[in-house]
Amino acid sequence: MPRNDDPSDLIKRVRRGDHAAASRALSLVVDEDDASEILAKEFFKSSGRAQKVGVCGPPGAGKSTLTGRLIGHYRKLKLRVGVLAVDPSSSISGGAFLGDRLRIMEHATDPGVFIRSLASRGMIGGLTHTIFGAIHVLEALGCDKIIVETVGTGQDEVEIASVADTVVYVTTPAMGDEIQAMKAGAMEIGDVFVVNKADLAGKDKAVADLRAALGLGHSAGQAPRAWEPPIAATSALSGEGIAELARELDGHWEHLQKSGEGRARLKKQHATELQFWIQRRVVRTALDRVTDKILEEMVAHKSDPASLGRRLLK
């Protein structure tokens, strides 16, 4: 049976909650197929409906296991969950691999859970330029919660704050030195901090170190924020602290809805999405104009990248 890629049909089926249609639509959007713009325009109408939770932190913090536990918690509440796991890319194919995400994949057969791996394709911060299009597909699918788990490159993941409504920064008791060395940017993006693997020795010290790091801003004379980031201690392995973490995430979502910050964050997300689209289109348009003649000019030193680049962008 031939695959039906008719955009209007896919749009209707996605809005009805059809996972197969959502999977196909997401592929078309991410791969920037000819039909992707039609789909993106329609699915954008659903933007802002679901809470987007960005999970970031250094490798080994247990982000995937924690995500799996959150999925289980939300499903007990009958909430529909979408997961976008951003993975490192193959330098040749640009494809993604799920890696060690068995805890997430345990929920793959649940009709109330949609899971997709996305290739970062070398984007700084661990995000792909098509992340927003993928999110909009899940919003149109009717997901109540969308979890975006980044590649785990640590402090470079501050870009997640331009995508997620609520940023969860995950660390562990074994990463005390990492907590001490956390850059201001990493501290500023977190809305909820998690000390995972709380069953290990050093949990209390890790929580205290995080609390001290978060308090440095106040000691430096900064005004208190409208939302003071809480610290949750969890054991993703046993499930300890997951309900408390979910309450903190719900509390932040409620804060965003009641304050002007939610609208401000949505504007920032839209600005980033527009920036990604313009950058991608400009680069593609310019590269389409590169000819062998132009490259020969560079080889012969008759011109240079700066001069040719300006000419191509005119």
Residues 54 and 84 in one domain: yes
Residues 185 and 271 in one domain: no
Residues 98 and 223 in one domain: yes
Q: In CATH, what number is assigned to the domain containing residue 236?
A: 3.40.50.300
Burial class of residue 23 (count of CB atoms within 10 Å of its CB; 0-12, 13-18, 19+): middle
The order of strands in the sheet holding 166-171 is: 113-119, 81-87, 145-149, 51-56, 166-171, 192-195, 231-233
Instruction: Say which residue the tokens 């005119």 belong to.
Output: 314
Residue 172: per-residue pLDDT: 84
CA 113 – CA 125 distance, rounded (Å): 26
pLDDT, one tens digit for every residue, the chain (314 residues): 345 689 999 999 999 999 999 999 999 998 888 888 999 999 999 999 999 999 988 888 888 899 999 999 999 999 999 999 887 643 333 444 444 455 677 887 889 999 998 876 555 455 677 899 999 999 999 999 999 988 765 444 677 888 999 999 998 887 666 565 565 566 778 899 999 988 888 888 888 888 887 776 555 556 667 899 999 999 988 999 999 999 999 999 999 999 999 999 999 999 999 998 898 889 888 999 999 999 999 999 999 999 999 999 88
CA 290 – CA 249 distance, rounded (Å): 48
Residues near 312 by beta carbon (within 8 Å), at least 6 away in sequence:
286, 289, 290, 294
Classify residue 40: in a domain, yes or no. no
Q: What is the DSSP string of 102-149?
A: HHHHTTTT-TTEEEEEEE-TT-GGG--TTHHHHHHHHHHHT-SEEEEE
Rg of the Cα atoms in the chain: 21
- Domain C-terminal end among 220, 235, 259: 259
Classify residue 270: in a domain, yes or no. yes
Residues 222 and 302 in one domain: no
Query: What residues are paired with 159 via a beta bridge?
Result: none
Residue 184: per-residue pLDDT: 55
Q: How many domains does the chain have?
A: 2
Count other C-beta atoms under 10 Å from residue 136's C-beta.
26
CA 198 – CA 188 distance, rounded (Å): 23
Classify residue 116: in a domain, yes or no. yes
**Cβ pair 164, 53 in contact under 8 A:** yes
Count other C-beta atoms under 10 Å from residue 241's C-beta.
20
Residues 225 and 271 in one domain: no
Pairing state between β 145-149 and 51-56 = parallel
Residues 135 and 274 in one domain: no
Residue 273: per-residue pLDDT: 92
Classify residue 28: in a domain, yes or no. no
CA 291 – CA 58 distance, rounded (Å): 42
Residues 194 and 306 in one domain: no
Classify residue 41: in a domain, yes or no. no
Count other C-beta atoms under 10 Å from residue 101's C-beta.
21
Classify residue 150: in a domain, yes or no. yes
Residues 250 and 295 in one domain: no
Residues 102 and 234 in one domain: yes
CA 34 – CA 139 distance, rounded (Å): 22
H or E element in which residue 245 lies:
helix 242-258
Identify residue 163 by its one-letter amino acid code: V
Residue 252: per-residue pLDDT: 97
Q: What is the DSSP letter of 50?
A: S
| Per-residue CA distances from 199 to 8, 74, 115, 196, 237 (Å) | 50, 23, 28, 8, 9
CA 305 – CA 78 distance, rounded (Å): 55
Domain extent at residue 139: 47-259
Query: What residues are paired with 12 via a beta bridge?
Result: none
> Measuring CA to CA, which residue among 278, 127, 277, 101 is closest to residue 189?
127
Long-range contacts of 208-216 (CB under 8 A, 24+ apart): 209/176, 209/179, 209/180, 210/171, 210/179, 213/179, 213/180, 213/182, 213/187, 214/187, 216/187
Residues 182 and 276 in one domain: no
Classify residue 56: in a domain, yes or no. yes
- Domain C-terminal end among 236, 259, 282: 259
Residue 209: per-residue pLDDT: 82
Residues 249 and 282 in one domain: no
Residues 236 and 139 in one domain: yes
CA 234 – CA 189 distance, rounded (Å): 20
